[in-house]
Amino acid sequence: MFDFVKPKMFLDAVHGYIYIPREFVKNIIDTKLFQRLRNIDQTGAHIAFPNARQDRFSHSLGVFHLGQKAVDYLLYNFSKESNVVHWNIRSDNKRDNFWAKNKVLFLIACLLHDIGHAPFSHSLEWLMFKNTTASINVEKKIAEYINQSEKNSGYFEVEAKEIQGASPHEKIGACLIIDEFENIITKTLEDLRDSKFPTPSRIIYAEHYKKPPLICAEEDDVAFILRMVLRLKYKNPDPEKQIRNCFIDLLNGNQFDVDKLDYIMRDTKVSGISNISIDIERLLSSITIVTTTRYKDEYETDKKVFIETFKNGKNDKIDIEGTVFGKIQLEENAKINIIAKSKIHLLRTSTDSSKIKLLHDTPKIEKQNNEQVLVNFEPLVPPEDNPKAVLLPGGDFALSLPSVVCETDFKFKVCESSSASIEIRGYCNMTIEGGAKSESLRIDPTEGKKAVKGKVSNLTVIDDDLSKIVPSESRHNAFSIGFKKQAISVIANVLDARDYLFRWIYAHHKVVYYTQFLIPIISASTLAPRKPNEDDKTPFDRLFLNYSSISELDDYSLITKIRFTKCNDDKINQLIDQLLRRNYRISLYKSLAEYDHLFSDFSVKDKRAIHNWLGDHTDEPNKIEDKQLMTIGGFVEQNMLNEIKKIAQEELDIIEDLVWVDSGYWKKEMNPRDVYIVFPGERHEHTLLGDIELFKDKLLKDEERAHYFYIYYSIRKDMLPKNPKEASDVIKNASDALKDTLIRYFKQKLEPPVGKTVSNG
């Protein structure tokens, strides 16, 4: 739909022929900055998988290709279903070219989404961003540009802190788009207009017969591209802006955007692994638009509702009654009154030390199974006269229990400096006063009762009957990307395929050592700024990894600089030699599966504690402030190594040093509020993927977040026998001894002091 005239063909190893408008090729692809992406490695996986030599250039073309297919399917499905979701969005609403123009800007964003990558991609983006922010306030620069272009003010104004969550390469890329591509984008739009774009392949609206839409450059074009690259959604309730949020999700969403789809397919193919197949046509052809309504202030309904999110302010009050499924987070000082006969599945505080306080009369709670009720984390025995009832004493307490029914009103308050959560799976009648928020809450009302009633700071309801709603400060429609039901099986495959890549390719022990230890630590030393009045010995001495030198830097220039570098630090020189010869340290275990086996006696909480302990006991670790990256590593402190050797006595004298590196892996689970599924024909045809039972095991679980890491070691060669077979046996024995000693060492560190007990909670 809205096809381009005589596009140029690129033959891609993953997608076959990719058709790109000549105007895009001439103005964008054939620039120095974009061609630089040919020499930016995408993953570093080629260290273990020799054919995995994919670069950011081919990936960007692949994202364009999938983006073009996705947006065409979206426009086609939207036009077919416009009687449902068409809400005052007209092709000639203030401009004749609304849909064609958004397609063009979206595809430009697809090409430019990775333009800000540093050499070796994610391995060094943190360092480039750190060096850049020493002289440029990146977030402030981007926010000011967007506000000026869009003429934002008040509530709609973009704040710098809203951009902080974007990846470093996305923020660097946004600056490049502002400084280097603004005029190029305008020129591209003018060239497309001169070529009579668009020529609709299918007439959507009657006015196209009289006046075909022709795109033109506008002041906020580049700002929209920046929003797509940064995943910065519009707060403006205007329908055009809310529709544009769909394009943002399509490129840079939390789950199934075209960027992720391309790297899953591309990295799988070039690595040569046998991953799960993805039916990309079935998935993309199912893309559509889901409508929701966002409310502020008063809201009430007696209809079945799917609440995407809601948030109470400190002075707000909301009543909920009906069959409820979902979890509500309760903030400090929130007061909750759960009416008798309500069913509670789980009520717990955020940490062991947090408390919630009972109000008024002591409630009776009927147990539904043999699980114990906990008070102050100690088992509470039911009274002898009524073994089915559990009496809770007044005062402070923390409660964690399976599904129970309140025999009387159950009232409590969250104490200061604390928080709690309550999960409901059944009938519930409750009032919440004060701070609360929720994600993915489904409520079937009791007959003749209001399902939801009260004042909320923010409420997003999934609904269909939205055509007559006029936007206002307290209520407006929002639009999100959804998938038709036929894509559910493909969505499951995408999740599994992505997790497979992260588990077995990106988290391979050699790939981790190369991308998250060698490259970052060597580069931090060799790409440091020159000292004042220091002469340049080679042209590469002028290179410094920051925004101003990005056009001069790629993988090849960096490797060449490393070859010519001689540091005063012997450790860095040894690392350079390892990098150039691929003569790495020995990994104590070769996969995450072996890690699980080695640390099988430890709980998730314990393993996370060990992970953090190692991070706190490394010499000059490569610690990254951006928590999204998880790239942390360094040399284990000599004092700690000496303690470990002391436990093993002489068995570990041959171990020269230890290196600890975060694996960068955590299970790729989904947030259920990010994925909509459309079931045509039902009363409430939109639902959340998290409400489908088959996907319950794939939901995001914070308590199972990353704890994986690798430990590497080197051997004193002067202590090795000259006979290769004997030397191999010595190394193996040292490895076994190191494994046993580390387990003993960490168990000692985790033991609580005498006289104290620790709950794993």
Side-chain-side CA neighbours of residue 717 (13 Å) = 2
Neighbours of 747 (CB within 10 A): 13
Cα diameter, the chain = 89
**Is 547:172 a contact under the CB 8 Å cutoff?**
yes
Query: If we measure between CA atoms, which residue out of 322, 307, 329 comes closest to residue 425?
Result: 322
Per-residue pLDDT tens digits for 25-47: 999 999 999 999 999 999 999 99
**Is 71:104 a contact under the CB 8 Å cutoff?**
no
pLDDT of residue 441: 85
Q: What sign results for the dihedral spanned by CA atoms 29, 34, 38, 41? A: negative
Task: Give helix 98-112 / helix 56-80 axis angle, nearest 10°.
Answer: 160
Task: Give helix 182-194 / helix 98-112 axis angle, nearest 10°.
Answer: 140
H helix or E strand, kind and range, residue 301: strand 287-301
Per-residue pLDDT tens digits for 104-152: 999 999 999 999 999 999 999 988 998 899 889 999 999 999 999 999 9
**Is 608:708 a contact under the CB 8 Å cutoff?**
no
DSSP 8-state code for residue 3: B
Confidence of residue 668 (pLDDT cuts 50, 70, 90): low
Query: If we measure between CA atoms, which residue out of 102, 79, 77, 65 comes closest to residue 213?
Result: 102
Residues near 133 by Cβ (< 8 Å), separated by ≥ 6? Answer: none
Percent of the residues in the chain that have a pLDDT greater than 90, as a whole number:
44
Q: Distance between CA 622 and CA 305 in Å, rounded? A: 48
Question: Residue 117 phi/psi, 5° resolution?
Answer: -70, 140
In the structure encoding, which two tokens stand for residue 68, read together? 């073009």
Per-residue pLDDT tens digits for 578-633: 999 989 999 999 999 999 999 999 988 899 889 988 988 887 555 444 443 345 78
Please report, for the chain, the start and end positions of each structural domain, with discontinuous segments joined by +. 8-38+51-258, 304-450, 585-750
Q: What is the dihedral of CA 593, 599, 605, 611, to 10 degrees?
A: -80
Side-chain-side CA neighbours of residue 37 (13 Å) = 24
Which pairing describes strands 475-484 and 317-330: parallel, antiparallel, or unpaired?
unpaired
Q: Distance between CA 75 and CA 65 in Å, rounded? A: 16
In the three-class reduction of DSSP (H, G, I as helix; E, B as strand; rest coil), residue 554 is classed as coil
DSSP 8-state code for residue 51: T
What is the end-to-end Cα distance of the chain in Å, rounded?
55
**Is 385:449 a contact under the CB 8 Å cutoff?**
no
Q: Distance between CA 60 and CA 36 in Å, rounded? A: 12
Per-residue pLDDT tens digits for 320-345: 999 998 889 888 888 888 888 887 77
Q: Distance between CA 583 and CA 317 in Å, rounded? A: 63
Would you put residue 121 in left (φ > 0), alpha (ψ -120 to 50) or beta? left
**Is 542:534 a contact under the CB 8 Å cutoff?**
no
The distance from CA 553 to its chain's CA centroid, rounded to whole angstroms, is 27
Assign 3-class secondary structure to 493-520. Answer: HHHHHHHHHHHHHHCCHHHHHHHHHHHH
Cα–Cα distances (Å) from 559 to 31, 121, 125, 582, 728, in that order, read 23, 14, 16, 13, 32
Cis peptide before 198 (omega within 30 of 0): yes
Per-residue buried b or exposed e for 656-690, using 16+ beta carbons within 10 Å of the residue's own CB:
ebbbbbbbbbbebbbebbbbbbbeeeeeebbbbbb
The structure's pTM equals 0.84
More confident residue, 263 or 699: 263
In the three-class reduction of DSSP (H, G, I as helix; E, B as strand; rest coil), residue 732 is classed as helix
Side-chain-side CA neighbours of residue 629 (13 Å) = 25
Q: Distance between CA 474 and CA 295 in Å, rounded? A: 6
Average pLDDT over residues 548-569: 87
More confident residue, 378 or 222: 222
pLDDT of residue 723: 93
Confidence of residue 374 (pLDDT cuts 50, 70, 90): very low
CATH class of 8-38+51-258: mainly alpha
| Range with lowest mean pLDDT among 108-112, 278-282, 694-698, 708-712 | 694-698
Cα–Cα distances (Å) from 685 to 98, 483, 750, in that order, read 27, 11, 51
In the structure encoding, which two tokens stand for residue 225, read together? 């591209």
pLDDT of residue 393: 45
Residues near 642 by Cβ (< 8 Å), separated by ≥ 6? Answer: none
Which pairing describes strands 475-484 and 676-678: parallel, antiparallel, or unpaired?
parallel
**Is 38:55 a contact under the CB 8 Å cutoff?**
yes
Is the per-residue pLDDT at 404 higher than 70? no
Task: Give helix 221-230 / helix 182-194 axis angle, nearest 10°.
Answer: 120
